[in-house]
Chain A
Amino acid sequence: AQSVSQHNHHVILSEAASLELGCNYSYGGTVNLFWYVQYPGQHLQLLLKYFSGDPLVKGIKGFEAEFIKSKFSFNLRKPSVQWSDTAEYFCAVNAGGSQGNLIFGKGTKLSVKP
């Protein structure tokens, strides 16, 4: 069965630190990859997505992610985090099937200390 693994359950950083959140998926075919963010009390919002083309994708708020097919990975990065980045981050995969069927990782809580 397809699955998505997020390596860190909770990450604590100070402002201006660099961020990298790991995401690995299990599926051998073509995949669409997503990172969603859920700020406290808010709904899931799309940060960025990869469908095809350049494996380095840029999203909103300075986030980027790199798709490495050989490693089945889609790690999220940000060079310098801000207190406002405190949220829960979810990696998701759409592997075959229809668009609406996303498989999510368990999420990583990011706490940024001012």
Chain B
Amino acid sequence: KAGVTQTPRYLIKTRGQQVTLSCSPISGHRSVSWYQQTPGQGLQFLFEYFSETQRNKGNFPGRFSGRQFSNSRSEMNVSTLELGDSALYLCASSIGSVSGNTIYFGEGSWLTVV
């Protein structure tokens, strides 16, 4: 059974540009969450989607957005990139969106903003 797949794995962008990251959850999983990992702030929750609806949002500016498609695949977008957006972006999936389900993480997308 394939795990959580994220693309691209590595990318470099310039300040002011925008970026879209993609996540394919484990087959049968309907909940997808996104996290940002940096050396200074650690792992921080960005948002969660379930059945194409955003269920929760972390404390990030509006430049960070996401969506989920009917096949549960998800994308996140960061507009007007800043140097501080350089990070590892992790996607995680679980079967449902209720307590008791294990969350599985992908390998992440490394974003460098120059």
Tell me if B's interface is mostly helix, strand, loop or mixed: strand
Does any Cβ of A come within 8 Å of B72's Cβ?
Answer: no
- The answer, among B50, B55, B102, B106, for a CB contact under 8 Å with A49, is B102
The interface size of chain A toward B, counting residues with CB under 8 Å, comes to 24
Given contacts A97-B56, A100-B56, A101-B45, contact A51 B50 (CB under 8 A): no
Tell me if A's interface is mostly helix, strand, loop or mixed: loop
The interface size of chain B toward A, counting residues with CB under 8 Å, comes to 31
- Contact count A vs B, C-beta below 8 Å: 75
Does any Cβ of B come within 8 Å of A104's Cβ?
Answer: yes
Question: A99 contacts B98, CB within 8 Å?
Answer: yes
- The answer, among B4, B42, B98, B106, for a CB contact under 8 Å with A107, is B42
- The answer, among A44, A97, A98, A101, for a CB contact under 8 Å with B105, is A44
Nearest-Cβ distance from residue B75 to partner chain A, whole angstroms:
16
Contacts of A105 in B (CB 8 A): 42
Does any Cβ of A come within 8 Å of B94's Cβ?
Answer: yes
Contacts of B58 in A (CB 8 A): 101
| 10 additional contacts (CB under 8 A) given A98-B31, A100-B45, A100-B97 | A34-B103, A51-B100, A98-B50, A98-B97, A99-B31, A99-B97, A100-B56, A102-B43, A105-B42, A107-B42
Give me the interface of A with B, judged by CB distance under 8 Å. 32, 34, 36, 42-46, 49, 51, 90, 92, 94, 97-107
